[in-house]
Amino acid sequence: MADIIPLAIAIAASPFPVIPAILLLFTPQARRSASAFLLGWFAGVALVTAVFVAVADVIELLDEPPAWASWVRIAAGAGLLIWGVRHWLGRKAVKPAPAWMASISSAGPRKAARLALLLSAANPKIVLLAAAGGLAIGAETTGLTAQAIGVLAFALVGSISVAIPVMGFLIAGDRVLRPLGIARDWLELNNAAVMAVVFIVLGIVLLVKGITAL
């Protein structure tokens, strides 16, 4: 858990899934669409993680994490560090909103679920984090039950940032829309800086863990 939780927290700390989750709360079918997005995001993270747990199982793991696990941490850490530096250097650049964000205003539950699956299972940064988490689970656990629990725990933690606004809206209704709107605007403005800090810190942690374990 000590190895996989930071990776899951990095997924949750990314503003990338939070912004569309909040935007869906301002749509006509807010409850159904936002709930579908949350389930789709959870399923996407869990799916990618489970795939890499299976990959780790195929590599005939030993009782202790093998050398390849350390190299995976090093590669993941280097990739995150590079992405973090790039985001930090370009944090002040004005970028147009992606096309999928403009279409959220008319999104229903099915479209929201598909969007969540796409953003989680097809985004290189999220896939890299989920892959590192899945390989760590596969390398350090034995038995389908333990691995399934690890995948579910990883996906749950990785979905916390999406679950908070959605559950808040389901419980409190329109009263949370104003503070969520403020949070959305702040995240859109500081998206690159937040992601840069998250990726740089986690990249350094993974590099240190990987190098010291060799």
pLDDT at 63: 47
Alpha helices in 25-105 (DSSP H): 30-58, 67-89, 99-102
How many angstroms separate the CA atoms of 172 and 157, rounded? 22
Q: d(Cα 14, Cα 16) in Å, to the nearest integer?
A: 5
Residue 53 vs residue 103, higher pLDDT: 53
Share of the chain above pLDDT 70, in %: 86
User: How far, in Å, CA of 171 to CA of 30, rounded?
Assistant: 13
What span, in angstroms and rounded, lies between the C-alpha atoms of 68 and 46? 22
Chain centroid to CA 10: how far? 7
User: Given the structure tokens 């940064």, which residue do they identify?
Assistant: 125
Among the listed residues 113, 121, 115, the one whose alpha carbon sits nearest the alpha carbon of residue 51: 121
Return the sign of the alpha-carbon dihedral for residues 99, 107, 157, 55: negative
SS3 content of the chain, % helix, strand, coil (to 5): 85, 0, 15
3-state secondary structure of 107: coil
89-118 pLDDT, tens digit each: 876 766 665 666 667 777 889 999 998 998
At 167-194, the pLDDT tens digits run 999 998 888 888 888 887 887 777 778 7
